[in-house]
Structure 1
């Protein structure tokens, strides 16, 4: 398990979870975030910042109504593992529910006219 750092400083190892705005709002109402993959696979899929666009275009192409959850790993209560995905590299996975205070930024994530995603300028 990763060390916790409750300072609130920007975490240089920020990981990203792509989800629907609706699922994120449900998580906020419940006070904890879950997604289907936690039940079916045992973890919440995340990406490193440099993997976000490729992941989005592979799994969410043309889908609207999405948000990016920027997550500070040092604030996540559940265990995070870097899992190897054959032919795609290592991806961070959260093995449990996501505590909301670990989400340091939420950014609207919409595809362009061709249905493809580009890296949001909000992450500068």
Structure 2
């Protein structure tokens, strides 16, 4: 099983469970608003993304742990910014059965969003 993560607000995840699929691309952007894919990260990328895109968020988030083999939408690994670092992108809605775990994600004592170790996914 290859595992990727998506950073989410808990209320958006709860709404997705009620709706039957998850459609949030990233913070404040959804597939319904014209976003073309859902941003995801490998374990070693989560903290970098969180500390960049969610740097001013002071409420706990959650991490959707996604089994890529269960995805119904296309998954592409892309470097869209030309930085030399590629990220997994889900092109379409995230089917709920591909989410194998939902973990609370809190800032660390230093005020930063913490690293997620590759061992944490096993």
Query: TM-score, normalised to structure 1's length?
Result: 0.82
Distance 1:114 1:48 in 2: 23
Where 1:89 maps in the other structure, the secondary structure is coil
Corresponding residue for residue 106 of structure 1: 102
1:94 aligns with 2:90: yes
Question: What are structure 1's unaligned runs of at least 5 residues?
Answer: 1-10
1:49 aligns with 2:43: yes
Count residues with an aligned counterpart.
113
Structure 1 residue 81, shift from structure 2 partner: 0.5
Question: Which residue, 54, 58, 72 being the options, matches 1:60?
Answer: 54
Deviating above 6 A after TM superposition, structure 1's stretches of 4 or more consecutive aligned residues are none
Query: TM-score, normalised to structure 2's length?
Result: 0.83
Corresponding residue for residue 5 of structure 1: none
Question: What are structure 2's unaligned runs of at least 5 residues?
Answer: none
Check the 8 A contact 1:62/1:114 in 2, yes or no: no
